[in-house]
Amino acid sequence: MRILLADDERQLVDALAKFLERAGHEVCTVITGGLDVLPAYDRFRPDVVLMDVMMPRFNGITISHALLSRNPALKLVLCSGALSKDHPFIAASGATCFLPKPFNFSEARDVLERYTPEAEAVA
């Protein structure tokens, strides 16, 4: 599965990317902020995007709307340590799922793997 990780916490992204790559996934990362997510998405064409809500240079909510306008079927998992899944911004984001921070890597992998093309074909 192709996964795009977007979070400005470099250590988290690097470690999670390595964990997911060891699980057999192809990973693209964006750590510079929301503005760089759209070109990375266009270039990489991921199956699923895991994106932090609080990022510099456009937050995850703004970028989620732009991503979903490009691909309404996109599987988008938002994560945040500041907002909860019940926050109105999260509810209106169009995200497929919400993952509260902090999360463990196995939990993140399990959430992401729910949205593999193979898993969806079985469902």
How many other CB atoms are there within 10 angstroms of residue 7's CB atom? 23
What per-residue confidence (pLDDT) applies to 99? 95
The domains found in the chain, sorted by start residue, are: 2-117 (3.40.50.2300)
Q: 78 with 64: CB under 8 angstroms?
A: yes
What per-residue confidence (pLDDT) applies to 2? 95
Per-residue confidence in pLDDT tens, the chain, 123 aa: 999 999 999 999 999 999 999 999 999 999 888 889 999 999 999 999 999 998 877 888 889 999 999 999 999 999 998 888 999 889 889 999 999 999 999 999 999 999 876 655 555
Q: 99 with 108: CB under 8 angstroms?
A: yes
Distance CA 106, CA 101 (A): 13
What per-residue confidence (pLDDT) applies to 121? 54
